[in-house]
């Protein structure tokens, strides 16, 4: 899979934070990041699934970040009638 990330759009049209779906994947063997300006390539092995990471150029490993859970207000069950 290849994904290009950049800031070439306006009003958040191309955010640098990406969510990449992996379907039924059971593991990630490696993630390769190519930084076009410095021509640096980073390879991270055995990246955990279902986690959020911050990746900095020249870092030796991705930084795991945890977003706060959203609290749902009102009725937690949402259904549609046909």
Q: What are phi and psi of 33, to 5 degrees?
A: -115, 125
| 81 located within any domain | no
| 4 located within any domain | no
| 18 located within any domain | no
Confidence of residue 63 (pLDDT cuts 50, 70, 90): very high
| 35 located within any domain | yes
- State the residue range of the domain holding 55: 28-65
Closest CA relative to residue 27, chosen from 53, 54, 45: 45
| 22 located within any domain | no
Give tens-digit pLDDT for 2-61: 777 776 666 656 677 777 788 898 998 999 999 988 999 999 998 888 888 999 999 999
| 42 located within any domain | yes
Q: What is the pTM of this model?
A: 0.65
| 11 located within any domain | no
Sign of the four-CA dihedral 13, 64, 42, 3: negative
């Amino acid at each position: 899979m290849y994904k290009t990330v950049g800031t070439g759009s306006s009003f958040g049209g191309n955010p640098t934070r990406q969510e990449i779906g992996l379907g039924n994947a059971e593991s990630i063997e490696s993630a390769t990041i190519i930084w076009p300006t410095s021509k640096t390539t980073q390879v991270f092995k055995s990246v955990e699934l279902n986690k959020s990471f911050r990746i900095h150029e020249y870092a030796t490993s991705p930084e795991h970040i945890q977003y706060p859970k959203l609290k749902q207000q009102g009725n937690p069950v949402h259904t549609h009638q046909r």
